[in-house]
Amino acid sequence: MYATPESFAAANKAGIETLLSFANATFAGMERFAALNLNTARTALEDGVATAKSVMAIKDLQDLVTLQSTLAQPALEKAIAYAKSVYQITAQSQEEFSKLFEGQVAELNKAVAEALDKAAKSAPAGSDVAVAAVKSAIAAANSAYDSVTKAAKQVAEMAEANVAAATSATVKAVSAAPKGGKKVA
């Protein structure tokens, strides 16, 4: 069982295509993060200018207290929205990487199965038990991998639900907080 130059070329081509897929997924995630951060910086600058103008218009302490209370909730909501966006980008990138990795695992399993079949054909008599044992071990490893993958997906779904619930509770708590402040005599 000798590898031919064609099989080396095919393996190299597949490796390069895989590398390019991972690089493209990485750059797509980085691009989404860069766009998010640029938009967040732009919004923060605009909000800062608006806040500075509002601070300059303050005439007494009551105006300051009112301004503080009106700025708190939007700032918290923007921070929560930013965190949710970061989480979504991260989750999408992780999902893309998982799909690519699962595809690679499937290709590897296929290649190993083909190599085992070729080896079994040229193996001496009586080695079919060893080949069956290796195939059984590979099947068990694949089953364990599938179980771990399913468990990881369930954990990710639960984490996402918990993040959504915590975000909702935080927004509701801030919204329910009393507006304005105590009047200073």
CA dihedral sign of residues 89, 91, 92, 98? positive
Its pTM surpasses 0.85? no
Question: Once rounded to an integer, what is the mean pLDDT over residues 100-122?
Answer: 80
Residues 37-73: tens digit of each pLDDT: 999 999 999 999 999 998 898 888 888 888 888 888 8
- For residues 132 and 116, what is the distance between their CA atoms, to the nearest angstrom? 9
DSSP type of residue 1: -
- For residues 78 and 180, what is the distance between their CA atoms, to the nearest angstrom? 20
Res. 114: pLDDT tops 90:
no
- For residues 157 and 163, what is the distance between their CA atoms, to the nearest angstrom? 10
What are the two backbone dihedrals, phi and then psi, of residue 147, each rounded to the nearest 5 degrees?
Answer: -65, -45
* Domain-wise residue ranges, the chain: 5-176
